Amino acid sequence: MYRVVLVDDERLIIRGLSTVIPWAELGCEIAGTAHDGVSGLELIRSIRPDIVLTDIRMPNMDGLTMLAAIRSEFPGIQMSVLTAYRDFEYARKAITLGVCRYLLKPSNLDELQEAVKLMVSRLDAMPQLPEDPDDESVKEAGNHLVKAALAYMKEHCTEQHLSLGEVADHVYVSQWHLSKLLNRETDQSFFDLLGSMRIAKAKKLLADPALRIHEIAEMAGFSDVAHFSRSFKKIAGCTPGEYRNHQM
């Protein structure tokens, strides 16, 4: 039996999906349900299901990033979307991230069963395949996650306590997985990337002669001037003061 996780913030939808689809006849069983994206991902990490049927328009959740997180971290999981969100470009992007079917609510039983049968057939074929049948979607998912992580880091880089864990939570993956993705896609670690972003911010601030070096250090996200100066020289090749003098 393939294990299935259902994720939807509408409890009525969860109950309906649990009862209307003949799961046992299709070789499946409901392994768990969740009512928001965060708890859904926690459940997926906990029980490692074979199939996920999920909505992507739930409160406090970036649906595409959640799909990318599942695809990147668990490439063998088969996913289908059941949503009321009618947007062609959004649906197209979901497909590139490895979604088997993008179904619109209300969806009839035939459409739902066809989606489940497709996911089951893909799972049945996997043992005979030398690798994941859609390596490209896994790569696309990784790219999506890295872009989302970098955008979040750029927006929050001046916050002194920004951590890998916070960014990983934002893109719905584990710290270990995000670290691996960042290294693979950028050839840099999280801390190297964060340092570069902070130094880029500091360079802009150094153009203002009214700001003192210790003020700039704090504004750029550094906890002390000594750390700021060491990091600046390592990345820019000169001290903050030398950089300022050269620019003026």
Q: CATH number, domain at 197?
A: 1.10.10.60
For 45, the domain range is: 2-129
Count the domains in the chain. Answer: 2
- Give the pair of three-digit tokens for residue 84: 């009321």
Whether residue 188 is contained in a domain is answered as no
What pLDDT is recorded for position 190?
A: 97
3-class DSSP assignment, residue 33: strand
198 and 117 housed in the same domain = no
* Residue 185 falls inside a structural domain: no
Contact yes or no for 50/4 (Cβ under 8 A): yes
CATH number at residue 117: 3.40.50.2300
Q: Is 150 exposed, middle or buried (0-12, 13-18, 19+ CB in 10 A)?
A: middle
Residue 146 in domain = no
The reply to whether 215 and 110 lie within a common domain is no
* Residue spans of the chain under pLDDT 50: 130
pTM of the model: 0.85
